[in-house]
Chains A and B, each alone.
Chain A
Amino acid sequence: MSTASILDIRELSVEIPTESSTLKAVRGISLDLKRGETLGIVGESGSGKSMTALAIMNLLPPSAKRAAACINFDGNNLAQASERQLARDVRGQRIGMIFQEPMTSLNPVYSIGRQLTETMTLHRDVSAATAEARAVHLLEKVGLPDPASRLKQYPHELSGGQRQRVMIAMALMNEPELLIADEPTTALDVTIQAQILHLLRDLQQELGMSMILITHDLGVVSRAADKIAVMYAGDIVETGNTTEVLKDPRHPYTQGLLECVPGYRNGAAQRLGAIPGIVPAMTGTVQGCAFASRCPRAVDLCRTDVPPREAVSPGRYYVCHDPVTHDTAKPLTVETAAHEGAAGPSQLPKPTVLTVEQVSCTFSVRRGLFGKRKPLKALNEVSLSIEKGEILALVGESGCGKTTLSRTIMGLQSPSGGSVILNGQRIEDLPPLQRARMIQPIFQDPYSSLNPRKTIGDIIGKPLAVHRIGTKAEQRAHTHRMMELVGLPARVFNSYPDQLSGGQRQRAAIGRALIMNPEVVICDEPTSALDVSVQAQILNLLLDLRDELDLTYLFVTHNLSVVEHMADRVAVMYLGEIVECGDRDQVMSDPKHPYTRALMDSALSISPGETVPDLGLSGDFPNPINRPSGCSFHPRCPIAEQQCRDKAPASELIDTTLVKCWKAGVSVGRSGNPSINESNNNMEESAP
């Protein structure tokens, strides 16, 4: 603690007036950041973490009101500084900032070069050539190939990952002393996320910058931050050294969050801890502890008195009347025994319900308004099969074709080659109504999957109405039973989706999918739009329902900790092909394909003290319109050889895992992923 503070925030509040009341987005928080240190601010949506980030340089939306005792940045009080002073001396000059949305955060009508150099020429009296040289230097540093020619490019010519690299370079143009990164990798794929975080860490150490990293992802913060501040409902409920806080959480909310994350503090196929309810909107006066309504440990005092700040050690405190201590540290939720049924070792061979045979799907895409049509191979001879009662996880990054595959399996997209066979029948041959009784989807975004003009009861019961099953009264009764099953209170029957929280909406979507009692459910990223505590509730529900209703899931996701928690088998997709498919533990702990290996390494499980690994992958996900020759992964593959560039590999079976790689047998040292290795439980191979 000998080094001086670079940023010292005291009693920062942000209020946003709404139509009827005032939202207290940030409620009097205090933060302290030393030179060269990284502070991670973690919280779920609505916790006020982004508002905190924006408030430091007063970049809040115009309606928001900021108040602070002081925002001391290297001796200057930013709370007192005028807008003009902030713009001239601080923004972009001494404090750089990176935002969440790389796709929209760069100005579309100006070249990359202009946007980089103007950051420098605005603040310093330097020549255009100097600024350009600095821009090229930084672009090279952030890992963009051929940096000089990038200057002439426009944002729309770059991928999301590349744009985020440009954003980082832009923030570093004037060698800021502090970098504020607001969810810098949330919009990016996992492998890109790992690359960007790795880059940020390197740059920070090299330049001696301090950094504030805002994220909802505990895995990210555990590996990238020295210090952590957990925010809930506009307040910091616990802060301190990352390792200490994550290993020994004191606040029940911190503990609850950690238990919600699959793979941390719980093995595979167990129930996740879950925090009931949702983050309350902080309007009006807040009585007592904001977390009291969701807290299992809450006592009467919590509902009446604001809890005090209890210091544990210098720089570490929590805000709670009844903290978790070592002797009372028991899990928040009742932990059920490991899953029974299909999740456990299955002795009897089960029938295959769904087979995907050599399915290809080619779209013809036009570039621009009048460009030439080009074929886009979204799926390239994909084969899969799912057994009754099994959960098959389909993993891959955006653009890999997993959504096309799930649409094809549901019969919403006709394949250009191959066939999907459901219970022995080709899916194209099934009439839509019959198909609908056998296979149903659950979508990613519960805000778009429910019709905003229909009531919840209508939405869940709609399949019954479409299929004309039962009388109106029977349909109603059945809908009510389904609502109970998915954990929706009966009173929301007549509510509209707008009136429900994200988690409740997803429950409604699940209810609608299951009301016809389908055999196969396609879950397309069902939790990636949800906060981690809600994600846990939904994952638990899906596992319970699987056991209760004997369902089969195809679980499409990019989140590897969810895969580890849910799946029996895993299929990894890259550029429209399945590159590896096999038993979960086999694939996750001993990946054969170099892409799977990179993917596993990029999964940032919560492990304080660990750093973000270097994946050794080069470049970004390629545009599927220009498929690379040979093995489609070769341009990014660290172990590619001439053979890989020339000829596409065929699938071969290695240790019960199907792999598509010329060098699958070759083992390469990889930076381990302890949490995945740890979780090797008593699962045995299930016959493919």
Chain B
Amino acid sequence: MLNYVLRRGFMALLVALTVSFGTFALFHFATDPAQTIAGEDAPQEMVDDIREQYGFDRPVSTQYFNWLGGVLRGDFGESFFWKQPVVELIQEHAGVTVMLALASLSVTILIALPLGISAALRPNTWVDRFALSTAVSAQAVPNFWLGLMLIIVFAVTFPIFPVSGDSTWRHFVLPALVLGASSVPAVMRLTRTGLLDVLSSDYIRTARAKGFIGYRLILQQALRNALLPIVSVLAVQLGYKLGGSVVTESVFSMNGLGRLAVESIFNSDIPTVQSLILIFVLTFVLLTLAADLINAWLDPRIRMG
């Protein structure tokens, strides 16, 4: 088991490093960071000075490992654009994103799980059809457009919730709905098919033959098996939401990590971009690792390998 965790952790780290190096290289080859810092109209000498001063003339790998060394000491470098340490920037923006991610995940769970479960328990009935059509519609609605529609409705018709900003909990209601709705189809469908598979399995037939019925059959026999895929999909969805909800944050003008990332891309702010990517990727791989560990705890086959 320990071996398993160590190997998975190592893989996660390797993935994070590969991806962040890729981003780093992409921006270094495709843009000229010295020019970016100096500004569009800066004279050539100034650009050259900056290039030498920041070490942009050294090989990309050297620069990357220098930066990585800094990261290990807690120093993510300084933003070219905002001219302040990236760590501070991230600290300022992370709160909104984490709040939004957790709130929207709750929305997803509250809608998708009950729908998916009731659809699986009564396949081919109106419940099932309702759940499936919800999924199909939610899949087809452009996320940003749904946000705009909510803004129109709640700004004009029913002014209950504020339509932009991130200062109070009320500001999070509409964004959480929009972002939460985007994960409903995936989670709902997986819950439904997962539970259907379990319910049609041989071991559930065995349990029925033993006299299990009703809620006992579901809770004591089927639930644990059906949870396995749900845990994984929820981890993935949370990972994506923590990875900056670019669209939702910009539609509702919230100062989260997603918007920070977009603005730093627009401004070729390499230190900020690569730090954010590294953090996003690490969050994602750690979350999925956590999901695998939960699943290992739930399922002896994974645990004992």
Contact = CB atoms under 8 A, between A and B. Distances in A.
Interface of A: 57, 59, 61-62, 83-84, 87-88, 90-93, 96-97, 99, 101, 104-111, 118-119, 122-123, 154, 156-157, 167, 170, 367-371
Interface string B167-185: 0000000000000000000
Given A108-B299, A108-B300, A99 B205 contact: yes
B218 to A, nearest CB: 13
A664 B305 CA distance: 41
Contacts of B305: 367-371
B4 A369 contact: yes
B136 to A, nearest CB: 23
Q: Is the interface of B mostly helix, strand, loop or mixed?
A: helix
A61 to B, nearest CB: 8
A96 B210 CA distance: 7
B213 interface: yes
Contacts of B225: 107-109
Contacts of B301: 108-109, 154, 156
Contact of A59 (B201, B209, B224, B298): B209
Interface string B285-302: 000000000000011110
Given A91-B211, A93-B211, A107-B207, A118 B4 contact: no
Contacts of A57: 209
A589 B208 CA distance: 46
B202 A119 contact: no
23 contacts: A57-B209, A62-B123, A87-B212, A92-B210, A99-B205, A105-B202, A105-B205, A106-B206, A107-B203, A107-B221, A108-B225, A108-B299, A108-B300, A109-B225, A109-B299, A122-B210, A122-B211, A154-B300, A154-B304, A156-B300, A157-B304, A368-B304, A370-B3
A223 B203 CA distance: 29
B300 A105 contact: no
Contacts of B202: 99, 101, 104-105
A214 B200 CA distance: 22
A188 to B, nearest CB: 15
B84 interface: no
Q: Is the interface of A mostly helix, strand, loop or mixed?
A: loop
A104 B210 CA distance: 15
Interface in B1-49: 3-4, 7
B220 interface: yes
B211 A104 contact: no
A97 B212 CA distance: 13
Contacts of B213: 83-84, 87
A104 B7 contact: no
Given A156-B301, A370-B7, A108 B209 contact: no
B201 A119 contact: no
Interface in B107-153: 123
Nearest to B207: A107
Given A87-B211, A122-B210, A368-B4, 12 more contacts: A87-B212, A92-B211, A96-B209, A101-B202, A105-B205, A105-B206, A107-B203, A109-B225, A109-B299, A156-B300, A368-B304, A370-B7
A412 to B, nearest CB: 29
A167 B214 CA distance: 22
Closest 8 CB pairs of A and B: A368-B305, A92-B210, A87-B213, A92-B211, A104-B202, A97-B209, A154-B300, A107-B203
The residue in A101, A109, A370 that gathers the most chain B C-beta atoms within 10 A of its C-beta is A109
A156 to B, nearest CB: 5
A148 to B, nearest CB: 19
B256 to A, nearest CB: 36
Contacts of B212: 87, 122
Nearest to B298: A109
Contacts of A108: 203, 225, 299-301
A279 B203 CA distance: 29
B3 A91 contact: no
Nearest to A153: B300
A85 to B, nearest CB: 10
A59 B299 contact: no
B263 to A, nearest CB: 41
B122 to A, nearest CB: 10
A170 B211 CA distance: 12
A118 B220 contact: yes
The residue in B203, B214, B221, B305 that gathers the most chain A C-beta atoms within 10 A of its C-beta is B203
B197 to A, nearest CB: 12
Nearest to B123: A62
A57 B208 CA distance: 10
A369 to B, nearest CB: 6
Contacts of B200: 61
A167 B4 CA distance: 32
Contacts of B209: 57, 59, 91-92, 96-97, 99
Contacts of B298: 109
Contacts of B220: 118
Nearest to B201: A104
Contacts of A110: 224
B221 to A, nearest CB: 6
Contacts of A157: 304
A667 B202 CA distance: 45
A370 B4 contact: yes
A151 to B, nearest CB: 14
Contacts of B203: 104-108
A109 B207 CA distance: 13
Contacts of A123: 211
B211 A88 contact: yes
Contact of B211 (A105, A109, A119): A119
